[in-house]
A and B are shown apart, each in its own frame.
Chain A
Amino acid sequence: MLSETSRLLLTERLKNYPPDRKASAVIYACYLAQEDNPDHYISQQDVRDIADLLDMDATEVQGVIGFYSLLYEQPMGKYVIHYCNDLPCTLRGADQFLHVLEHKLGISHGETTPDGLFTLEEAMCLGACHRAPCMQINLEFQEFLTDDKVDRIIDMLRAGEPLRANMADAVQLLPQSPLA
């Protein structure tokens, strides 16, 4: 279910579009629904609600969710880790820190830890090759990764520290991720 706040946000956003083009806001609506959900995914009920709110068919909404890799149809961990395995990152040792991650979390890619904290997913290039190797946790970038940094990021999140970009670095490299 979309929260009251999300509904207000969506109503506000819909003012940007003509009344018969509500579908333009579908990605935003999906994003809001996913943020509202404690399991970090868009439920079937959400899909129906969004379809109703935006004058779409449920199949169309589902098609959009299926297409975008950051919109989820299944329950996810609190932190979804997208690690990049594309060429620049791999040349800079990405496959090595993947093993570290898998070992540290006790899961392989595509899985969620039993405590529901982490989900590990492959990604094809996050657009941050100049800071390779990198990964994205929810929407926050973690860059110039090393074994040690990966280890510390997981520990910090387990300890309940708030998620932020480059959280293992003393100096913030990026102000904020653009979508946050």
Chain B
Amino acid sequence: MTTLTIDGQVFDVAPGTTVLEAALANRIDIPRLCYHPDLVPSGGCRLCLVEVEGRPNPQASCGLKCDEGLVVHTQSDRLTALRRDIIDLFVSDHPLRCAVCDKNGACDLQRYAYQYGISETAYDFELSRPLFQEDNPFFVRDHQYCILCNKCVRVCDEIVGANAIEVAGRGFTSHVATPFDGPMVDSACVFCGSCVQVCPTAALLPTSRLRKGREWELTRQRTICGYCGVGCGVEFATQGQQIIYAQGYRAAPVNGEFLCVKGRFGWDFAQHPDRLTQPLVRRDLLEPRPPTADGRPLATATTPTEETVTSDGQRSSVGGPPSAVRGRPSGPGVRRPSVVGRPSADFVPVSWEQALDIIATKLADTVKTHGSDAVAGLSSARCTNEENYLFQKLFRATIGTNNVDHCARLCHSSSVTGLGMAFGSGAMTNPIRDIRNADCILITGSNTAESHPVISYEVVRATKLGANLVIIDPRRVPLVDHATLFLQPKPGTDIYIFLAMAHVILREGWADTAFIAGRTEGFEAFEYSVREVTPQVAALMSGVPAELIEQAARMYALGQRADAPSADGRPQTADGSQTDNTDYALRNTQSIARGHSTILYAMGITQRSNGTELVLTLANLAMLSGQIGKPSTGVNPLRGQSNVQGACDMGALPNVLPGYQPVTDAAKRQAVAQAWDLADLPAQPGITVVEMMHAVLAGKVKAMYVMGENPMLSDPNLTHVEEALRALDFLVVQDIFMSETAQLAHVVLPAASYLEKDGTFTNTERRVQMVAPVLPAPGQSLPDWQIVGQVGEKLEAKLGHAAEKAAAWRYTSTTAIMDEIARVTPSYGGIHHHRLSGEGLTWPCPTDDHPGTPILHTAKFTRGLGKFHAVPVNLPAEQPDADFPLILTTGRILYHYHTGTMTRRSEGLNWRESRGYAEVHPYDAEQAGLRDGGPALVTSRRGQVRTQVRVTDRVPQGTIFLSFHWKEAPANVLTQDFKLDPLAKIPEYKVCAVRIESPKAAAQGKQAAGAVEA
């Protein structure tokens, strides 16, 4: 500790702390304009000057490290005079139009001008930079208000890693510029708005807040973002029933102040006119009548009070003019076009009473006629824990089946299975904030910068601090720009690289023998299994040079930093042969000096027909190197949706009850049954998402209840999915929009979005956080927990169960539901709403006084000993051949989320990326005669989509990439569902065989084929 005196008070601070940090931490305010706690100090504004005894000149406290015995004064006449003059200089080139400024009341310059009494400038300059730029729908840039504090430039570089802006010019012409002063969209900008967040003045403002109210007129509400699984805290500023803008806040445990484009700007879908506002029932279901000759129900049966509502939920859905692309977003009066297609069925609005009655009757009839297992349900990774809990309870306790699953099956079921087998717990082992302190980060099968942008900020920070970043991915993902090593295997061959890395680690003696001996089992079989997989073998199979594999193995196993003094590949031993690296020796008492390495992975690993095996391979690497159970290590699956972790935790899976208690475990099952006031629960595991579709067509499932999912776009082999959903006797869909799936439903229920309800989300690092309503739910829509509760109540009655059973479904609040969750879920035992304010809690949290568990497996693994698995080499199920010579891989893009029901109704996001596209390597494009921006047909054995070509070397030759957000070009028409991962039942979205051709060539090909046949 270092001791220093500030303004007469003595403080002990950690070495390396700056004077400004020490002062702020002790509530001593020093004026500052260019300082930000997350950025490297730049010392540019000079406002934070302080007097240091013994030094003649004032010093900038932001860059001044605390020395032992330093005596600092933050106030003096000289400092006041200097600060007044500095503020005056800032004001001299800043318009004093506070009365009409949107930042009035939240402007740092205004605050200091007020504090130091600067009402006008003593310098008579003409204002420079009279430039107002509105070139994107997210934020505006008003250079006149800019004080060149450089915070935006630094945040873009140091945190986001985009480096889109830089100061150009000098003197009075200096300004923050994009390359060649072009529009933002032509720069590397990812529109995360972090620059807007840190701007101290009105130079950068969200477009949505322009002239919409001053600070003191806005109401603030903190909640959790509803997009990906990172679980960022977002603060919404509202006025009346309108969101004015959204921002990050410093206390948010995951993201601090930083958000991505979806979280900060993608909330306007909530008030889109397409929102479902009342329950809808198919007309033919309401008044069954004989169909007319053409098979359509009679359309004359409307009663005078009924209105016809088309399937996009609109009474007047005739599209308005398409909203402006590029340039100004359309104003509030301009109708936004509906993205949902034309009606496929006549829906009639009904009362909640009537809709619930129909649902209860139909479901009860199905159960009575065909048995409980004839009903299946899809829960939602975008609904709260409370809602998922009720949904699976409805199926298990009321209907009596385990046929409940959700889309985690399609993203991380192999993680849940694989990590469960290896460690005993299938979730991220370490917190997100750990990543910034890692020495080596291995990312594989994750396009982190686009799918989990805020986690990529942590990675960028770590690399700026000197960490090594190793990326193993067939696609050249954006983070490669920050990587030390980039290994680009042929799709499907990464398994060889992981095995070869293990081989190298063993061969070179980099394995953590003490860890293996003390904490794991099954090592011998594993060691035997990698003996033959040399880097040379892996190089041959994957196309990655053996040398790179060896380097990756060294960096990962030893946790080497990019700035480490010894990078010559020799193990650093603690016996004196390597003494200059004391930092490592201190951190690790093993014989090998070892830094901290962490593995991040996502769907590139899991969405494979050998997904579980790949996950096991990564777990093997971590245990082999002892890189688990400590800070900044671990095996971390990045989960894709706001509450996908929670939906799994709540047992919205066919084989486990809440808290991953297997349904086959009689003792655990009966304990839950008892809590639910039942004798027992169904013991047979239910069927999974993809199996449900097969079961419908096999006649085994007759009715389905879908809450907040859109299998008509998200599931593999869509043609087959549509066939199945159309074959159902009864389909209920509960959603916020008339999704592609809802269009096939018999009853559609309007739900509240994450902005309109309360409850909890569990993020990818197992942190349970409170969600709070920001807006009222539109029309008659209700939070999902209320809907499920009412369905439960009615269904109990229709099934003839006791009245108490129905009464038990009358939940009064999400708090009460959470208390019930805590009773039946051991890992959530101590989690209650009142404990979740602030940072939330990470499970396992078994008791009310348990502080939560940020890092798993510290002293011992959840399953006791970690288990090595000898993993066979399996390649993707469908390999390219003469007819389908290319490999298709699918994924997300930054500006859209899942099936696009929300993001495609967000003006800004849709402006930035409004059409799907196929990424094609220049060579393949040339071979197929395709041009950049031109049309293309992508065909697999299962179907064909038409899309736009984007020629890029992000994909390797022989591979094309499609994102799955687009209903016009649904990638999942192409993907295969015939070979699932045998254990996790996950389909292989990441690899299937396709061909690509221009529409013209396809037509000619058909003609030629026809001619031959003739």
Contacts and interface: CB of A to CB of B under 8 A. Distances in A.
B180 A44 contact: yes
A76 to B, nearest CB: 16
B591 interface: no
Contacts, number: 43
A59 B178 contact: yes
Contacts of B167: 63, 66
Contacts of B166: 57, 59-60, 62-63
A47 B179 contact: yes
Nearest to B170: A67
B82 to A, nearest CB: 25
Nearest to A51: B179
A44 B180 CA distance: 7
A27 interface: no
* Chain A at the B interface: SS class: helix
B669 to A, nearest CB: 58
**For A47, A59, A66, which residue has the most chain B Cβ atoms within 10 angstroms?**
A59
Contacts of B180: 44, 47, 58, 62
A59 B169 CA distance: 11
A168 to B, nearest CB: 31
A62 B177 CA distance: 9
Contacts of A66: 167-170, 173-174, 177
A69 B168 CA distance: 12
Contacts of A65: 168
Interface in B143-198: 163-170, 173-174, 177-180, 187-188
Contacts of A69: 170
Interface in B894-942: none
* Chain B at the A interface: SS class: loop
Contact of A63 (B168, B173, B187): B168
Contact of A59 (B164, B170, B173): B164
Interface in A21-40: none
The interface size bin for chain A is: 10 to 19
Given A58-B180, A59-B165, A62-B180, 14 more contacts: A57-B166, A57-B179, A57-B188, A59-B164, A59-B188, A60-B166, A62-B166, A63-B177, A66-B168, A66-B169, A66-B170, A66-B173, A67-B170, A69-B170
25 contacts: A44-B179, A44-B180, A57-B163, A57-B188, A58-B179, A58-B180, A59-B164, A59-B166, A59-B168, A59-B177, A59-B178, A59-B179, A60-B163, A62-B166, A62-B177, A62-B179, A62-B180, A63-B166, A63-B167, A63-B177, A66-B170, A66-B173, A66-B177, A67-B169, A67-B170
B194 to A, nearest CB: 16
**For A44, A67, A68, A69, which residue has the most chain B Cβ atoms within 10 angstroms?**
A67
A59 B170 CA distance: 14
Contacts of B177: 59, 62-63, 66
Interface of B: 163-170, 173-174, 177-180, 187-188
A150 to B, nearest CB: 27
A69 B511 CA distance: 56
A44 B167 CA distance: 16
**For A44, A57, A69, which residue has the most chain B Cβ atoms within 10 angstroms?**
A57
B183 to A, nearest CB: 14
Contacts of A57: 163, 166, 179, 188
Nearest to A56: B163
A42 to B, nearest CB: 11
Nearest to B179: A58
Contacts of A59: 163-166, 168, 177-179, 187-188
Interface string A56-95: 0111101101111100000000000000000000000000
Contacts of A63: 166-168, 177
A58 B164 CA distance: 9
A96 B166 CA distance: 39
Nearest to B180: A44
A57 B170 CA distance: 19
A35 B188 CA distance: 29
A60 B162 CA distance: 12
Contacts of B173: 66
Contacts of B179: 44, 47, 57-59, 62
Nearest to B156: A59
A56 to B, nearest CB: 9
B844 to A, nearest CB: 43
Interface string A138-153: 0000000000000000
B163 A62 contact: no
B81 to A, nearest CB: 27
A14 B662 CA distance: 62
A79 to B, nearest CB: 22
A57 B188 CA distance: 9
Nearest to A63: B166
**For B166, B169, B180, B188, which residue has the most chain A Cβ atoms within 10 angstroms?**
B166
The 4 A-B residue pairs with the shortest CB-CB distance, nearest first, are: A59-B166, A66-B168, A63-B166, A58-B179
A124 to B, nearest CB: 9
Contacts of B164: 59
A66 B173 CA distance: 9
A17 to B, nearest CB: 16
Interface string A168-179: 000000000000
A63 to B, nearest CB: 4
A69 B169 CA distance: 9
Contacts of B163: 57, 59-60
A67 B171 CA distance: 8
B817 to A, nearest CB: 50
A62 B170 contact: no
Contacts of A62: 166, 168, 177, 179-180
Nearest to B188: A57
Contacts of B165: 59
A58 B163 CA distance: 9
A97 B165 CA distance: 41
A65 B174 CA distance: 12
B661 to A, nearest CB: 51
B932 to A, nearest CB: 18
A70 to B, nearest CB: 12
A33 to B, nearest CB: 15
Contacts of A68: 170
B190 to A, nearest CB: 14
A60 B157 CA distance: 11
B741 to A, nearest CB: 43
A4 B168 CA distance: 28
**For A63, A67, A69, which residue has the most chain B Cβ atoms within 10 angstroms?**
A63
A74 to B, nearest CB: 12
